[in-house]
Chain A
Amino acid sequence: MAVDLSSFQESFFTESAEHVETMESGLLELEQRPQDLDLLNRIFRAAHSIKGNSGMFNFTAIGGLTHKMENVLDLLRNEKIPVTPHVIDVLLRALDGLKGLLEAAQGGSETDVIAIQSVEKELEACQIENQESRENQVGSASPQPVQSQRKSWRLITIDWIPLPELFQRGLDPGQIFKELHEMGMVKALQVRTNRIPSLEEMDPERCYLSWAIELETDVSVGQVESVFEFVQDGSELIITDCGSQKGEPYKRVGEILLEEGVVTPEQISESLAKQKPLGQILVEEKKATPAQVSIALQKQQQIKKGESASIRVDTEKIDKLINLVGELVITQSMITDLGEKFTINQLPVLQERIVQLERNTRELQERVMSIRMMPIGSAFHRFPRLVRDLSGKSGKQIQLVMSGEETELDKTLIEAIGDPLTHLVRNSADHGLEGPEERMANGKSERGTIRLHAYHDGGNICIAVEDDGRGLNREKIVRKAVERGIIADGSMMTDEEVNQLIFRAGFSTAEAITDVSGRGVGMDVVKRNIEGLGGTVTIESVAGQGSKLTLKLPLTLAIIDGMTVRVGEDNYIIPLITVTESIRPKPNDLQRIVGKGEVVNLRGEWVPMVRLYEAFHVNPDYTDPVEALLVIVEAEGRRVALLVDELTGQQQVVIKTLEQNYRKVEAISGATILGDGQVALILDVPGLAKLARIGHTTAA
């Protein structure tokens, strides 16, 4: 049996990560609501689970730390010690240590042993604070059964009056006798019936029998007692050692096998030594080939890299998928059926079934896509802690309000927006919000608020990071931009344009470099990352009242809304999110700037024009822009006019890469398959915009 041990570990790590998250968010909430027993129980259960499970995988360090955390949590739970910020601090730090240990166990970083030890000491100190520290010897996981010394053969008598509820607890006396049998020889088994009541009083589900047993064995009284482990409570049990016996001793199965030469002593001691972790036994018993081992090692390596791309899916989602596939199969067989004996007057039936097929397919598509969808909450989890830390460091009082955590989006996107969001939240805490004095002076409450809000907007997801701080400071931004040479002094700009300046490379207004933000990674990186995901960033700001940054992202990376355009015989897809408008220019809107290419006048702004037929070397219907059409697209803050023959429609397209079988092509971001099976290319708008600019500069 080939067993992939690492898969067990993988789910242990996934689970532990979830538990760690539960604990972290729970502890932060607990600080607000120290009386919430449910919450405490939830945190306790998470710690408890990690402890229990880590034992199974021999992660003793993890077990040790969670054990200590659990002790403190238990004291909190039983109100033996109060919930204080200090205790929360210690527990949070222990949690950090736990994260480190988990990472180390996955083959990541080295563990900071010293830090773990010091936090463990602190945890212990928390317990000692509790004067009546209970002797709570929980989970001392020392394997107790030491190989017992070989004892001489003896007779043991057992007198057992079981509890009457024996059967109701699922116990079977027969099992016990069987076990005794294996220990030696049962010389006598006497059933006593004296406790059986009269028929009318008798409850057939109760046990009225009792037994007297004589056992000849070489095991100790303790071992015999252990057979009755589960029935001891409520039973009357007297086990007496009657001393050594003469004659031929009873032999154990192993000994007989040994004498008869069936097995070797090595094999027996091998079997006896099997008090090992599961892993070891499996490895030894599956008799894996070196190849299998190396494959397993590789798999483990992948997991260590943290790149295992597994996804947890609700069984409900899967069940729905299965149902849908079932429907699809039925519809398909109905159509096949119809096709076999089709007459033209059945056309309406055929059409109806095709509609059904379409519906099934669409639903199936949606469901399959939804498998990759996860609530954005998992990207939000880190913020309560982050804000708490930021507030501690800066001396600002910050309240974090999150909403829309259940909003779903593609898993890859969730992973990708984590860092940009962190940056925005840090920015708000560091630059946006004022200190308590300044806030009071401005008639605001001492405590500043950062709001994280996620919501769906059409085919997009929006995530807003909003603060009630001082808002963007126009003068400061303009001054900085001039200093950095980003704009010329005395430039006339709208507020909107000024706000956009913070996204320019090399821009930072932080007056003091703090360790929170202002370390070079600027808003330009945030904007670039979001645009790289096919999204946009917008700013709203009111001086003195705060600012709001909104990230708008497609729900998934695999499907985009596209506008199909035609140039000559070829169709191209333009991502709809980049399209601002399409126009047919008037002759005097066009201008050729010597050495700078062509531009078109768009309400006073001169926008560079790219003739797609020239860029792609195809034969268009029209070469005169006045007869053709210009699609105005915007990427990375720059606008470009694309000359096309015709707009042919809008549709959702599935993005396919050209690189899989060929290579990257300039100005093309990928391809898709149209309804008729033909391939259409998807335009890379930022690439085209660059092309337009290069055209100008090289011509100059």
Chain B
Amino acid sequence: MSTATIEPTQQQDVRTTFSTDDQQFLTFNLAEEFYGVDILKVQEIKGYTNVTKIPNTPDYLKGVLNLRGTIVPIVDLRMKFGMGVTEPTPFTVVVVVNVRNRVMGFLVDAVSDVLDLNAKDIQPPPELGNTVDITFVAGIGNSNDHLVTLLDIDRVLTEDEVKVVDEIPAEVSTVEVSS
């Protein structure tokens, strides 16, 4: 296995999220690819139901769902990663996660497994140049001979994407002339 040959110096490049030795990841599929998120960030997994669309929001924001009285935004991860729209199937699920004190749902094709990884089995994200944005990739793991992209869930949506208040342009003029 290639992972065994990592040099200690390289290990230090691994993001600090992996400071503990053993970590569990929830893995899921998007298209044919495998992804994983820190299981401690996952609040629950929920079947996909119809969402309420929110006007004038980015395409990857599917809409909002009612999760026991809380309004939870649902992000289509395929759309977010530029892999096209998720077509709901019986396996489509929403992974509900806690991100920076917010509850959000990520729409994924299917949940596959819980993966135990030791820090030394995690590789730093590859260098792909400036063409591909990989700031939300925390590292690469390996499970049963396939690669798992470990997501830094806090970075999947930037602070701007969830927080910025859309400023409606100021009124041009408040003076109205009655006729």
Contacts and interface: CB of A to CB of B under 8 A. Distances in A.
Determine direct contact between A and B, CB below 8 Å: yes
Interface of A: 485-488, 491, 493, 505, 570, 615-618, 656-658, 660-668, 671, 673, 677-681, 687, 690-691, 693-694, 697
The secondary structure that dominates the B interface is loop
A553 to B, nearest CB: 25
Given A660-B70, A661-B71, A679-B64, A666 B52 contact: no
The secondary structure that dominates the A interface is loop
B65 A694 contact: no
B166 A658 contact: no
Given A487-B178, A615-B55, A618-B55, A665 B166 contact: yes
Contacts of A662: 54, 61, 64, 71, 73, 102, 104, 162
The 8 A-B pairs with the shortest beta carbon distances in the complex, nearest first, are: A616-B55, A679-B52, A662-B73, A697-B172, A664-B165, A661-B102, A666-B166, A673-B66
A491 B178 CA distance: 7
A671 B64 CA distance: 9
Most A-side CB within 10 Å, residue of B51, B66, B104, B172 = B66
Contacts of A665: 54-57, 166
B19 interface: no
Contacts of A491: 178
Given A488-B178, A687-B168, A697-B172, A668 B162 contact: no
B169 interface: yes
Contacts of A667: 55-56
B69 to A, nearest CB: 7
B159 to A, nearest CB: 10
A657 B70 CA distance: 9
Interface string B57-92: 100010111100111110000000000000000000
Given A616-B55, A665-B57, A679 B178 contact: no
Contacts of B171: 690, 693-694
Nearest to A497: B178
A485 B175 contact: yes
Contacts of A616: 55-56
Interface string B138-179: 000000000000000000000001111110110111110110
Nearest to B64: A679
Contact of A663 (B50, B52, B165): B165
Contacts of B55: 615-618, 665, 667-668, 681
Interface of B: 50-57, 61, 63-66, 69-73, 102-104, 161-166, 168-169, 171-175, 177-178
Nearest to B57: A665
A673 B70 CA distance: 9
Nearest to B75: A662
A656 B67 CA distance: 12
A680 B52 contact: yes
Given A661-B72, A662-B64, A663-B162, A678 B50 contact: yes
Contacts of B169: 694
Contacts of A693: 171-172
Contact of B56 (A487, A658, A666): A666
Contacts of B163: 663
A607 B174 CA distance: 17
A671 to B, nearest CB: 5
Given A663-B165, A679-B52, 4 more contacts: A485-B175, A656-B69, A663-B166, A679-B71
A612 B116 CA distance: 50
Contacts of B63: 679
A668 B61 CA distance: 15
A663 B54 contact: no
Contact of A679 (B66, B102, B174): B66
28 contacts: A487-B178, A616-B56, A617-B55, A656-B71, A660-B70, A660-B71, A661-B71, A661-B73, A661-B102, A661-B104, A662-B64, A662-B71, A663-B163, A663-B165, A665-B54, A665-B166, A666-B168, A667-B56, A671-B64, A678-B50, A678-B52, A679-B64, A679-B65, A679-B71, A681-B55, A690-B171, A693-B172, A697-B173
